[in-house]
Structure 1
Amino acid sequence: MSLRRRMYAMGVVGLVPLLAAGSWNEWSNRALREAELRTNLVEEATYVASEFQRQIEGVQSLLLTLSVIPVVRGTGVISCDQLFDLVRPQNPVLAAIGATDRQGNVICASDRQPGELLPPIADRPHFRKAMETRRPALGAYAYGRRTARHVIHVAVPYDDSAGTLAGVVFASVSLDVIARRHDLPQWNASKVITVIDGEGAIIMRQPDYARFVGQRIEDGRWNRLRSFTTPGNYDAVSSVDGVHRIVGYSPLNAEPLGLFVGIGVDKAAAFAPLNAATLRSLLATLVALALAFGTAWLVARNLIGKPWRRTLRAARRMKEGDLTARVAVIGKGEFADLAAAFNSVADQLVAALSRKDMLLRELSHRVMNSLQVIQSVLRLQERSATAEETRAQLRDAASRVQAVAMTYRRLHELNGTDAVDIGELAAAIAEEISRSLLQSKEQITVECQSRFISPQRAMPFALIVNELLTNAAKHGGNAAMIGLSLQVEGDVVALSVTNARSNDSSRARSGAGFGTRMIKAMVQDLAGNVRQVESVDLFETQITFPVADPQEVQDPQEAKRHMMAQPRTT
């Protein structure tokens, strides 16, 4: 993982607690808002129920007052009908006022025509309840037969002069008037109020009162609603408009007895401001995150990425062999300390390599001197030897030592570089052979491509070239014509030495001589192959071997330096 990605990962890890805290805060606010909304709905439903209670209590008080007036009991200077006609217009919420006897027969009523017989109300819930409990009673929804209005009845029992239950005084409360009083802007599609009687009929619903008044609640839902015993909340999806609402309610057993009051709020609309605030907060968070990551990217790029890349480039240059690579120390801080430490290590490395190179040059110089001494001793012994065979063996040994010394000289001239150009090495050996064994340089034709190999492989290669050229010069005579070819195809080196055939060629071809055995041993060290080709006039030795030892792992950067040059002729 890159350093920049690690910084981003650290930033994300650092943001996780903040995002978690923000999410928890958002969830807490939403939960608090919902709890507050539910509490407010219950309080509002209870308040509306109390308003109905006051209105019904006012009607009951009026009826109680009327029930004790003598005219209602059949005595007085005016009739009961006249009294009710006087009282009803003073109370707009009342659609009608009447009184009955024990059997439920209407004995007087407001707005009754002279001689008009009104139907009995013995079957009405408010009459039966008042007579059974001898207490004020609230009836159910009804559509007035005489008033042609949506009403709900209130009944109060009364006694005759003897204290015996004589009947009830009742009033028809106009639901239309109550609905108009509650037709307020606060009731809309997002917030509705519904009042239901004890039989499951809607007596008021805002908005759309006219649409819903008198409709009955489906049995399953009504059974659930009337099972509630304390004020509270419930969630429901309306079967009318499909809106999901949170409902606060006052149950049937609360005052006024027999009415269920519910106030429902569209949950989506109720949380719309909070959702909008959440969306704004989310957008602000995303913008802040984008700015934070943008800033982190700039910081990572300029304050971390650039110093890091400078150090990395310097390290790669040094890996590729550029020991002058250094990192600019800019400002203060960890990267400045890293650059200073890198430069210090590089200086120490250069100093150590310089000391090593100095020791290696001294060692190479001593080895070359030793080889030169050995070669001189062999030359002296060659001159002092009397037997021709001994002289030839000493001459060959001196030539081989010279090839080794020449390779060491090449390595010494490379000044520590870990590769040898075998094309130049082969040409140099050919030139030395032409000076020592041939009459003219023109007797050797050299065509060698440039190719770098490791010093470990250059030493056996030099011995092979020296031995092949020495044998070609020795067996070809003073007028020998020798060809040296070095071709590279891919990672394979092809070495070829040709010379004019002579009578002594059979000995070289037979493989009985020490030189031939040494050539085969060196070729084996190079993991190569040797082949000898003989024609009528020419004798050719062909050797192929890989540039690198197959068991070695070659550095890709080193491979770039092994570039092939154009063939050249010496």
Structure 2
Amino acid sequence: MAAPTTTYTEEPALSLAMAVVAASPGPLLLLDGDLNIVAASASFSDVFDIAAGSAPGRQLSRLGAGEWDIPQLRSLLGATISGAAKIEAYEVDLRRPGRDTRRLVVHAQRLVYPDLENLRILMAVSDVTDARADEKLKDEALRQNLVLLQEVRHRVANSLQIIASVLLHNAKRTQSEETRGHLKDAHQRVMSIAALERHLVGSSDGTVEANAYFTKLCDSIAASMIGDSNQLSLTVTGAGGAVDAQVSVSLGLIVTELVINALKHAFPDGRPGKIIVYSEFRGPNWTLSVTDDGVGMPTDPEHIQLGLGTSIVQALAKQLEASVQVGPGHPGTRVAITRTKVALVEDHPAPAPDKPPVERPAA
């Protein structure tokens, strides 16, 4: 038995489309190939103050007081009719005489009916004026907060600089070598935070470039603690990378402690040498190390003392979920702080040390 032949007609399809448009909770228009309005949802009339039932049969460009006669929109709808394009999230301003301009987002797509010659376009319109205004207010509030934060950081850096200067001045005046050493150590700890705050003043996204930060920090330490740069050198190397500002605070303190520790213990009796600060940051994984070519670690456990510097480094590393490894630098000593949260394919595991590391006395 032959299958029945199905005949498509305009009337049922159009009636269905008009019913869908009329029932739409959002502003919706059904247009024909000449951009005449075939049907409009009640919400369209409500949102754009068009008299109910007055839209069908009128040209889109003559709707209202003529505010819908927008050349760019008309051109895009023409391209949609030809099948060359469809409108997706096109933003346009609706300017109505005597009223505030509204920001609209338009979606339009040609409807395809089997065996029908009449073209139809379904056009959805959203008024996003209030949403855009809210976004603008939020952006402005964020901008103001950033400006305020930068000002606070600038003032904090200045205050820390003053505190560091007072500490260094008192260190020069005291007669006690032990007190002078403690004051100088405190001076460098304050300077490390001040250096970070200086970097944060110029940081707009809450991150700090590691090598630039460590370089400035080490330059400050060298200026106050290394008398002859030809005798002792302090350099920063490695791939570096961007690091979160909050994390960089702890890293700066770690570098300060390790560098001061090396300067105090690795080069006795005017011994020449060099200290290298190395860093590499790859997302959640990073490595920070301080290596010197000094006298190395004491081999007698009885001569090993745990000082404030060691405690600070260990505490900071624990907060950062990182591990601390202390070992020989061949020559000298190498202290590495490593954080590994995600295994990378290209990473190669470091060879295990031949002997367990021994810590040097800390500042």
Q: CA, structure 1 residues 503+533, in 2 after alignment: closer, same or farther (shift >3 Å)? A: closer
Q: Which has the larger radius of gyration?
A: 1
The structure 1 residue matched to 2:217, chosen from 429, 440, 446, is: 429
The structure 2 residue matched to 1:396, chosen from 176, 181, 185, is: 185
8 Å contact 2:254–2:313 — kept in the other structure? yes
| Deviation, structure 1 residue 288 | 4.1
Q: CA, structure 1 residues 505+474, in 2 after alignment: closer, same or farther (shift >3 Å)? A: farther
- In structure 2, the residue matched to 1:500 is 293
Q: CA, structure 1 residues 390+289, in 2 after alignment: closer, same or farther (shift >3 Å)? A: same
The structure 2 residue matched to 1:283, chosen from 4, 8, 13, is: 8
- In structure 1, the residue matched to 2:246 is 456
Q: Distance in 2 between matches of 1:467 and 1:507?
A: 23
| Deviation, structure 1 residue 498 | 0.8
- In structure 1, the residue matched to 2:274 is 481
8 Å contact 2:164–2:191 — kept in the other structure? yes
The structure 1 residue matched to 2:138, chosen from 349, 353, 361, is: 349
8 Å contact 1:328–1:339 — kept in the other structure? no
Listed one character per residue, the Cα deviations across residues 201-224 of structure 1 (whole Å, up to 9, x for unaligned) are xxxxxxxxxxxxxxxxxxxxxxxx
Q: What are the within-5 Å matches in structure 2 for residues 91-106 of structure 1?
A: none
The structure 1 residue matched to 2:308, chosen from 501, 509, 514, is: 514
8 Å contact 1:423–1:450 — kept in the other structure? yes
Pairwise CA RMSD: 4.1
| Deviation, structure 1 residue 410 | 0.9
Q: Distance in 1 between matches of 2:300 and 2:319?
A: 24
The percentage of aligned residue pairs carrying the same residue is 25
The TM-score with structure 2 as length reference comes to: 0.59
Q: Distance in 2 between matches of 1:444 and 1:382?
A: 23
Q: Distance in 2 between matches of 1:475 and 1:376?
A: 25
Q: Distance in 1 between matches of 2:86 and 2:153?
A: 44
8 Å contact 1:382–1:394 — kept in the other structure? yes
| Deviation, structure 1 residue 364 | 1.3
Listed one character per residue, the Cα deviations across residues 444-474 of structure 1 (whole Å, up to 9, x for unaligned) are 2321323222222111011001111122222
1:501 counterpart SS class: coil
8 Å contact 2:296–2:328 — kept in the other structure? no
8 Å contact 2:247–2:320 — kept in the other structure? yes
Q: What are the within-5 Å matches in structure 2 for residues 285-324 of structure 1?
A: 288=13, 309-310=89-90
Q: Distance in 2 between matches of 1:423 and 1:341?
A: 44
| Deviation, structure 1 residue 405 | 0.7
Q: Distance in 2 between matches of 1:362 and 1:351?
A: 17
2:273 counterpart SS class: coil
8 Å contact 1:511–1:517 — kept in the other structure? no
8 Å contact 2:326–2:334 — kept in the other structure? yes
1:309 counterpart SS class: strand
- In structure 2, the residue matched to 1:466 is 256
Listed one character per residue, the Cα deviations across residues 168-213 of structure 1 (whole Å, up to 9, x for unaligned) are xxxxxxxxxxxxxxxxxxxxxxxxxxxxxxxxxxxxxxxxxxxxxx
Listed one character per residue, the Cα deviations across residues 395-419 of structure 1 (whole Å, up to 9, x for unaligned) are 00000000011111111111x4222
Letter in 2 for 1:338: D
Q: Distance in 1 between matches of 2:158 and 2:93?
A: 46
Q: What are the within-5 Å matches in structure 2 for residues 104-115 of structure 1?
A: none
Unaligned runs of 5+ in 2: 21-29, 36-72, 97-101, 106-125, 343-363
Q: What are the within-5 Å matches in structure 2 for residues 120-519 of structure 1?
A: 282-284=7-9, 288=13, 309-310=89-90, 329-330=93-94, 335=104, 338-414=127-203, 416-438=204-226, 439-440=228-229, 443-477=233-267, 479-488=272-281, 491-502=284-295, 510=304, 512-519=306-313
The TM-score with structure 1 as length reference comes to: 0.39
Q: Distance in 1 between matches of 2:196 and 2:167?
A: 19
8 Å contact 1:307–1:335 — kept in the other structure? no
8 Å contact 2:297–2:332 — kept in the other structure? no
Letter in 2 for 1:361: Q
1:386 counterpart SS class: coil
1:335 counterpart SS class: strand
Q: CA, structure 1 residues 346+334, in 2 after alignment: closer, same or farther (shift >3 Å)? A: closer
- Flag the structure with higher helix content: 1
8 Å contact 1:447–1:486 — kept in the other structure? yes
1:542 counterpart SS class: strand
Of stretches 396-405 and 369-378 in structure 1, the one that deviates more from structure 2 is 369-378
Q: CA, structure 1 residues 338+411, in 2 after alignment: closer, same or farther (shift >3 Å)? A: farther
- In structure 2, the residue matched to 1:66 is none
- In structure 2, the residue matched to 1:534 is 328
Q: CA, structure 1 residues 347+489, in 2 after alignment: closer, same or farther (shift >3 Å)? A: closer
8 Å contact 2:279–2:287 — kept in the other structure? yes
| Deviation, structure 1 residue 433 | 2.2
- In structure 2, the residue matched to 1:265 is none
Listed one character per residue, the Cα deviations across residues 195-254 of structure 1 (whole Å, up to 9, x for unaligned) are xxxxxxxxxxxxxxxxxxxxxxxxxxxxxxxxxxxxxxxxxxxxxxxxxxxxxxxxxxxx
Unaligned runs of 5+ in 1: 1-267, 269-274, 311-326, 549-570
8 Å contact 2:293–2:330 — kept in the other structure? no
